[in-house]
Amino acid sequence: MIVDNLKPPYYAVLFSTLMTDNLEGYIETARRMETLAKLQPGYLGIESARNEIGITVSYWESLEAITQWKNNVEHTEVRELGREKWYQQYQLRICKVEREYGFKA
């Protein structure tokens, strides 16, 4: 689903990944992280797609909210697990969204 109810300015965290062949427990953990992120103050939404490269974009009210999510204990533990087990490579980018527009048929 495309998140289309946001009002700039806000922040987007772009998380691009290449996976290893060992995906044991990944889907369940990813769902848990999405559920946990939704409970964080400042969370606005998430979009995700996976093909050869996985891209997840989460939306946040502020840089402080992003930092609090990064420092969440369970999220920190899962990041370590991801580096050890699931991710061959990842890149994270944080962007300030100042303008947006869209179309819906």
* Whole-Å CA distances, 68 to 20, 87, 103: 28, 23, 32
- 5 within domain boundaries: no
- The string of pLDDT tens digits covering residues 23-51 is 999 999 999 999 999 999 999 999 999 99
- 102 within domain boundaries: no
**What is the tally of structural domains in the chain?**
1
User: How far does CA 44 lie from the centroid of its chain?
Assistant: 11
- 105 within domain boundaries: no
- 93 within domain boundaries: yes
- The string of pLDDT tens digits covering residues 72-96 is 999 999 999 999 999 999 999 999 9
